Each structure stands twice: as C-alpha cells, then as structure tokens.
Amino acid sequence: MSRSTTAVVLSALILPGAGHIYLKQAGRGMALIAVSLACLWVIIAQAMQQASAVLAQLESEGVVPDAGQFAEMVSHASNHSESGSAMMATLVLVGCWLFGVIDAYRLGQNEVSGSTQKQ
C-alpha cells in the first residue's frame, strides 16, 4: 500500500488528521484532530443533554420505557431541538473529515512525486 493510500485510510477510518501525522505533517494533523474532537464533544454533549431531558420527563411521569421507545423519544427530541451548535459541529466535523482525506491524499501524492523527481 502506498503512503498516500495509507494516509487516506487513516484519515478516513480513524480520525481526520491521523493521515497527516503519518505523513509527518504534525501541525496540520494536530489541528484537524483538535477541531474534530471539539466537534465530537459538542455533538455528544448535546445528545447527552437531550437524553437526560427525556429521562427526567419520563421519571416525572413515572413511565418505564423500553430501549426502543427511549431511543425514539430522544430522536424525536433531537429533531425538535433548537440548538444549532450540534448541527454546526456536525457540519464542521464532516468538513474536517473531507478536508483531511483529500489533503492527506494530496500530500501523499506530492511526497511520491517529490521523491520521483529527486531520483
């Protein structure tokens, strides 16, 4: 497997920025990882807040839902939530992921063409 392919796989399947670190572009890699982890934190925090709200509502009503019913209620709550922060974090995360994959491929290809020109 070529270095560019390995970098793309790392960025696509592990975390944006992992391929950059593999290609010894630590600054870019760490920046992508930091932004991605911050976005994941916002998304998870929002999901936990919605789940807690649903649990509090169910507890006050004295209802014991099954897992499927609970998941449906949390999903319904997330569809009606007015928080744009989770949506923005999701869009930024997707953008980082796409940028990470494309840029890792580009850097890997430049590395290959640079070593070919030196020979």
Domain boundaries, the chain: 3-118
The share of the chain scoring above pLDDT 70, in percent, equals 89
Check if the beta carbon of residue 90 is closer than 8 Å to that of residue 42.
Answer: no
pLDDT averaged over every residue in the chain = 86
pLDDT at 82 over 60: no
pTM: 0.78
pLDDT band at 36 (very low <50, low <70, confident <90, very high): very high
